Amino acid sequence: MSFPFTPDLSFPLAPQAPGLSSRPLIQPAGCFRFKDEIVQEPLHQSSLKSLPLIARGKVRDMYAVGDDKLLIVASDRISAFDVILDDPIPGKGAVLTQMTEFWLNKLAHIIPNHSTGVDPADVVAPNERDQVAGRAVVVKRLKPVLVEAVARGYLIGSGWKDYQATGSVCGIALPAGLKQAAKLPQVLFTPAAKAEFGAHDENVDFDYVVKEVGRELAEQIRDVTLRLYTEAADYAATRGIIIADTKFEFGLDDQGQLHLMDEVLTPDSSRFWPADSYAEGISPPSYDKQFVRDWLETQVWDKTPPAPRLPEEVASRTAAKYREALDRLTA
Ligand SMILES: Nc1ncnc2c1ncn2[C@@H]1O[C@H](COP(=O)(O)OP(=O)(O)O)[C@@H](O)[C@H]1O
Ligand SMILES: [Mg+2]
């Protein structure tokens, strides 16, 4: 990985997350009626012609709106074991978009964010509105801070691996004898260097962040990250969801003011665990992707693209879990 790299949001060729380029559109965007409810057809990839495409990420497609805003379209793509699957999860993009909006509002007293309030339907052509309905946002185009701001309340994933090897996580020493998935004695800020497309993010220590962005901004990012996580995790716990860890992204506006951007506290940017099946000493099942992961584990597959096609049953059960997480948090 080459880091740091200069953020360039005006790529001549829109970069794409690996594995997306040769994939045909599985289903066109549109709506259909089901039991008198308007249901959106799953969208694997948006194809707006009225705005310049900037990039396609693993899940979201970014378009320029003028020179100071972005349209971010959350598709229904899902990735597992870092591979983007061919089969969309119906409703996933809308759930992620609504969940982010919920948290941005709830946490707005802590830090300004990238929301503009502009209706996506107003910035695309009339025949493209189906593609953005419920799943897109128009945001301030910020200069990304190239640090993934991770907060961890539990010892899992790369934190658990790091702890087993070194007794600390990202340079923060922890008491001996902690078990996998243990609740940490205090919430940790464990930043990662934002990897370029396709590469894994790399855990770094706080001094690295200071070197990258300066002490003042580094401390602000750390303090805000810990406050955002703590408030959100406390709230989610009252709804039966453990937010084990999460990743925030920040950006600077023209005045250099720090903003929260990207998706916020979704199952894609966080580890959500159902509180009722939590236990130490194991890797608790994830709220959302467990059906997909469990099913993929039963397949003969080397975890490189293309992934096996998902049975309809697995896709619809996964869709229901995403929806359930949103309902639990926002109902
Ligand atoms: N307000 C914003 N200004 C500039 N860039 C943003 C903003 N919000 C999100 N982004 C960027 O848009 C991209 C979102 O696409 P995503 O599918 O999450 O990509 P990735 O595969 O990198 O996770 C990320 O690169 C994120 O940093
Ligand atoms: Mg992302």
Domains of the chain: 32-142+290-330 (3.30.200.20), 144-277 (3.30.470.20)
Ligand 1, atom nearest to 58 Cα: 21
Chunked into runs of 10 residues, the chain (331 residues) has average pLDDT values of: 36 58 44 49 95 95 98 96 93 97 98 98 97 97 96 96 94 95 97 75 91 97 98 98 97 98 96 95 90 94 95 95 96 88
Q: How far apart are CA 29 and CA 49, in angstroms?
A: 14
Q: How far apart are CA 134 and CA 208, in angstroms?
A: 38
Distance 248 CA to ligand 2 centre (A): 9
Which of 103, 115, 262 should be mutated for ligand 1, with most atoms under 8 A from CB?
262
pTM above 0.75, yes or no: yes
Q: Distance from first CA to last CA of the chain, Å, rounded?
A: 42
- Decide: 96 in ligand 1 pocket, CB within 6 A: no
Q: Which ligand is nearest to the CA of 60?
A: 1
pLDDT of residue 201: 78
Q: What is the pLDDT of the chain when averaged over all its residues?
A: 89
Report the alpha-carbon angle 195-200-205, nearest 5: 70
- Decide: 92 in ligand 1 pocket, CB within 6 A: no
Distance 74 CA to ligand 1 centre (A): 11
Cβ 94 vs Cβ 134: under 8 Å: yes
Q: Which ligand is nearest to the CA of 84?
A: 1
Which of 46, 62, 138 should be mutated for ligand 1, with most atoms under 8 A from CB?
62
Could you read off the pLDDT of 245-255 as tens digits, one per residue? 999 999 999 99
pLDDT of residue 19: 59
pLDDT of residue 111: 98
Q: Given the structure tokens 């991770």, which residue do they identify?
A: 150
Could you read off the pLDDT of 182-233 as tens digits, one per residue? 999 999 999 999 876 556 778 899 999 999 999 999 999 999 999 999 999 9
Distance 58 CA to ligand 2 centre (A): 7
- Decide: 141 in ligand 1 pocket, CB within 6 A: yes
Structure tokens at 119: 């209706």
Q: How far apart are CA 263 and CA 60, in angstroms?
A: 10
pLDDT of residue 194: 81
